[in-house]
Amino acid sequence: MKQTAVYGCFSLDDEMISLRKFIYLSPSCSTSAFLSSLSGLCYKLSSTSGDGSQAPITGDFTRLLVGSSHNKMKAFMFMTWNIPDSPNLFSTMSEPILVQARDPSQVALELEHALDEKRFEDAWKAYEKHVHMDGLPRKSVLSKLLTSFAESCHAHWLNKAYSVVELAFEEKKHDLMEKEPLIYLAFIVSRSELPVLASNVMRKLVKMEAFPPLAAWSGIIGHMCQTAIGTLLAAELIMEIGYLFKDNRVDPRKKSNRPLLSMKPNAIAFNITLTGCLLSGSTRKAEQLLEMMPRIGVKPDSSLLIVMAQIYEKNGHIDEIKKLKRHVDEAIGLSDLDFQKFYDCLLSCHLKFKDLDSAVDMVLDMLRKAKEAKRSLAAAKSVLEAVQTGKRSIFYWDSGHEKLDALDKFKLIKSRAPSYFEFTKDRNFSRLEAEAKESLELLSEKIQAQVQLVKSERGILHPTEKLYAKLVNAFLEADKVCELAAFLIKASKEDSPVSVENSAVVQVINACISSGLLEQAHDLLDEMRFSGIRVGSSVYSSLLKAYCKENQHDEIRALLRDVRKAGIQLESSCYNALIQSRIHHNDSSGALHIFREMKESNISRSSRHSFETLVDGCTGDREAGLMAKLLEEIKGGQNANSGIHDWNNVIHFFCKNGLMNDAQKAVSKMRALGHTPNAQTFHSLVTAYAAIGGKYVEVTDLWGEMKAIATSHSMKFDQELLDSLLYCFVRGGFFLRAMEVIEMMERERMFIDKYKYRSLWLKYHRTLYKGKAPKIQTEAQLKRREAALAFKRWIAA
């Protein structure tokens, strides 16, 4: 008996995919019955139908067109041969690739079942199969796929979920994406420290006009700002969202604008991002955000005033901080920690600009107020103790309550992420809003740890040892010893009474001696003596030993005269050093004279105190003593050029007001006075040219100057400056220069926001160099074309 072997193949986009033996039919089976039974196995696909012509193949050839509910048809071709009844006939044939005809709805059902059972590998295979068969699944299946992968909180599946979103937008099928699943995905990836994915999902939501409410996206950027890259992306995101609301573009009276207005950033969203910028060092990007705030109608709250002051301090804008001082003093709701941060900024700026008089006035005023507050506090305490009973137990309970609050402060952001079901129940996104506030508090605590110049004790502000060290070092660098002595004398009178050996004056003199600044130490001793302030013998001994070590005999004789006039008794170790110095210079008579003087004074050798012991005594009473801080400051050699800060302020003012000719004249004058422009100088210029628009040739000239300065003066390019340059070059179509900047950023492993530059390319240069290259072109034209195509490949990678 003979059977008919039936083979089938189908065409997908004009490519032959597979060949398979479907069934064996007996000769009695009619063709119509065969086609009828086969059509039940076929699935509906969308493709172009064939023309139905006969193929020149031996045997009977039949083509079957299977109807589709979509707008296209799918063609199947079948060949039949009469073959003998022998199962070994096909044993020599190679195995073909198997493609089964299946219903996409069945695959979608398998996908859903796999997701329900958390079999993500099987679910992903079913998803890929569905994409190959019938494109993306329907909206409900896609939403379930995204939310299930997001619930896993696993980086692998979160990346898979994002690839699904990316494919939907590439195929222009973003109508299959739902708003809530995308917000949930962005929230989970931000919690999982994947800020690039989070920002891209947020941007896609805005692109498809499914505007996420402020309560939702503020929680997302709160998590993003915990990392440096996330902070940059959060700043870009707020800039892009804020652009929609600039200069009252959106009419709040229109009902159709309500979804868009619900996304408008507020003071908390700005506060989170600005605090993140402070931590990551992106302070120039932060200042761009500050400039945007009034243009979209956002008023800073009291806590935001402090963040603004910190940003201005980092960028060296002392005039802006002085303007804020009145608002800070009048603000309601600021804590002592907020005032601590503000005055830390103001003092830091005074020191940066070498405004020592203002810094001294602030320190002395702080000491006076602290002294008065301590007296008031002592009086209040005595009254309370007389009136109130059981005070200890009450304060003990309060302290425990504060500790409990500290433990529960970040319970939401440190707990597990909510499931999608829990997420959807929270219709107002109150969980995300609460996490945004927790994220801000966490960032603020990290900023608080950076405050070094002012400390707060029971709500009273005090200068720290670090502040004294910086101030003393600034006086010494300016060679203002008399002014330094006057300040130290006033500070000693205002500060808490301490022993002479542990006073600020003694610690400063000892630090000068230890750092080799013997002349300054001697001058300070003279100032103390003229002012009637008695200084202990240990300081004179230390200075004499240092002079002996350096063999400065004239200074030794002068200091010994001062010692005798002051009636100070030197230590035996000091006499020993003097004797050794005389012997070393073959002055036997002088050595003998000093020995007799020591003997007549009845100095005991047991009374020796080394300088190291004195240092330990100075630093042992506190966590970090003034002397140790001053030594660190002097040896650090942080000689910042205040002239550069002054000129940068002038240039920034001109750039901010669009006076570019004046800014360029200021740069020329700055160079003429011997100050080399730095990264901040160029950032002000580049940002100003970008704001004006169309000044890309000028930016190119600046880039050439920057490269020349970097070669000769080792100027460091930071991420913010290079990103501003890259934006200008891409916007203006200067891709040769753009690729230079990209190469430098990638070499330094700096983050580049590819999404932003891909959007710029598509918006302004989509059709650039799309056709064939002209046969005749100059070498410059060829280089420009190659650079543009290289940039296009880079953004697509």
String of DSSP letters for 258-278: HHHHTT---HHHHHHHHHHHH
pLDDT: which is higher, 80 or 512: 512
* pLDDT value for 530: 77
Q: How many C-beta atoms lie closer than 10 Å to residue 643's C-beta?
A: 14
Helix (H) or strand (E) holding 389, with range, is none
* Rg (the chain; Cα; Å): 39
User: Cα separation of 623 and 626, whole Å?
Assistant: 10
Identify any residues that bridge with 267 across adjacent strands, giving them in sequence order: none
For 66-75, b/e burial (b = at least 16 CB within 10 A) is: beeeeeebbb
Most confident of 66-75, 471-480, 685-694: 685-694
For the chain, how far is it from start to end, CA to CA, in angstroms? 60
Nearest by Cα to 685 from 669, 709, 672, 666:
666
| Cβ-based burial of 611 (10 A; exposed 0-12, middle 13-18, buried ≥19) | middle
Q: What is the mean pLDDT of residues 589-609?
A: 52
Question: Is the pLDDT assigned to residue 155 strictly greater than 90?
Answer: yes
* pLDDT value for 203: 95
Predicted confidence (pLDDT) per residue in 426-441, tens digit: 999 999 999 999 999 9
* pLDDT value for 657: 87
Question: Is the pLDDT assigned to residue 342 strictly greater than 60?
Answer: yes
* pLDDT value for 637: 52
Nearest by Cα to 316 from 681, 638, 668:
681
Predicted confidence (pLDDT) per residue in 647-679, tens digit: 888 899 899 888 999 999 999 998 888 888 888
Most confident of 106-110, 486-490, 558-562: 106-110
pLDDT tier at 498 (50, 70, 90 boundaries)?
Answer: low
pLDDT: which is higher, 675 or 94: 675
**Is the distance from CB of 296 to CB of 241 less than 8 angstroms?**
no
Instruction: Give the single-character DSSP code of 73.
Output: -
Largest CA distance in the chain: 140
**Is the distance from CB of 546 to CB of 523 less than 8 angstroms?**
no
**Is the distance from CB of 612 to CB of 514 less than 8 angstroms?**
no
Question: Is the pLDDT assigned to residue 140 strictly greater than 90?
Answer: yes
* pLDDT value for 429: 93
Torsion angle of alpha carbons 654, 657, 660, 666, nearest 10°? 0
What is the value of pTM for the model shown?
A: 0.75
User: Cα separation of 110 and 125, whole Å?
Assistant: 10
* pLDDT value for 610: 36
Q: How far is CA 598 from CA 148, 459, 594, 605, in A?
A: 88, 52, 6, 10
| Cβ-based burial of 728 (10 A; exposed 0-12, middle 13-18, buried ≥19) | buried
User: Cα separation of 323 and 788, whole Å?
Assistant: 46
